[in-house]
Every structure is written in C-alpha cells, then in structure tokens.
C-alpha cells in the first residue's frame, strides 16, 4: 500500500531563525509521529526528527521550508510541524 504523503510550505517566523529552541521543539514533535518527516530548504533535505540536521539548514527568518511527511499520520504531522515553523517568538533570548 502506498503511504500517504503530505507536502506543505512554511515560512520561518522567528526573528532569530530556526535556532536551537525551535529546532529542538520541531524534532521532539516530529518524533511523536510514525510518519517520516523531511524538511527541505532549497535543494537540501534533512530529517525533521534530528536536531543536529535541522540546525544545519541555517534557516533564517523569512526562509520558506518545505515540509514533507510520509506515513499514516502524515496530515497531522505536517500540520504540527508547520505550526512550529510559523510560530513567532516573544522572548528576546534565543
């Protein structure tokens, strides 16, 4: 059976970019889903469940990221990940 695949684009909203805290939050959220989750910036795709890989994206504020979720909970997973990428931050400390 073909696994469902969901692709959504999200723009990094944090003024600090996708730094440690959102990367950790994103990976922790991704790990709760059975779907595989890839985050794609330009032609680089990384595992959304790996904090280290996410930090190498160098995704600054305003960067569009493609979220690709594959698996039976792909819909919910992609929506949750997009929510994190598009959350603005109110704290001043990264």
Partner 1 sequence: MKFSEFISSKSIKVNMVSEGKTEAVAELVQGLVDAGSLDAAQKDGIIQAVMNREELGSTGIGRGVAVPHTKHSSVKEIVGTVGVSKSGIDFRSLDGDKVNLFFMLISPPDRPSDHLRALENIAKQLQNESFCGFLKQAKSVEDVVQLLNEADENHFGS
d(CA 59, CA 65): 8
Work out which of 16, 29, 38, 76 binds partner 1, going by CB under 8 A: 16
Identify which range of 34-42, 54-62, 65-73, 80-88 contacts partner 1 by CB under 8 A. Answer: 54-62
The verdict on 62 binding partner 1 (CB under 8 A) reads: no
Q: Pick the catalytic residue: 19, 21, 61, 70?
A: 19
> Three-state SS string across 12-74, please?
CCCCCCCCHHHHHHHHHHHHCCCCEEEEEECCEEEECCCHHHHHCCCCCCCCEEEEEEECCCH
Query: Catalytic residue positions?
Result: 19
Site of interaction with partner 1 (CB under 8 A): 15-21, 24-25, 28, 51-58, 60-61, 91-94
């Amino acid at each position: 059976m073909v696994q469902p695949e969901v692709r959504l684009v999200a723009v990094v909203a944090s003024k600090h970019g996708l730094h440690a805290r959102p990367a950790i939050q994103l990976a922790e959220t991704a790990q709760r889903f059975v779907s595989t989750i890839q985050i794609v910036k330009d032609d680089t795709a990384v595992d959304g469940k790996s904090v280290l890989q996410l930090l190498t994206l160098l995704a600054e504020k305003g960067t569009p990221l493609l979220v690709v979720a594959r698996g039976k909970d792909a819909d919910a997973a992609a929506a949750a990940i997009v929510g994190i990428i598009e959350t603005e931050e109110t704290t001043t400390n990264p």
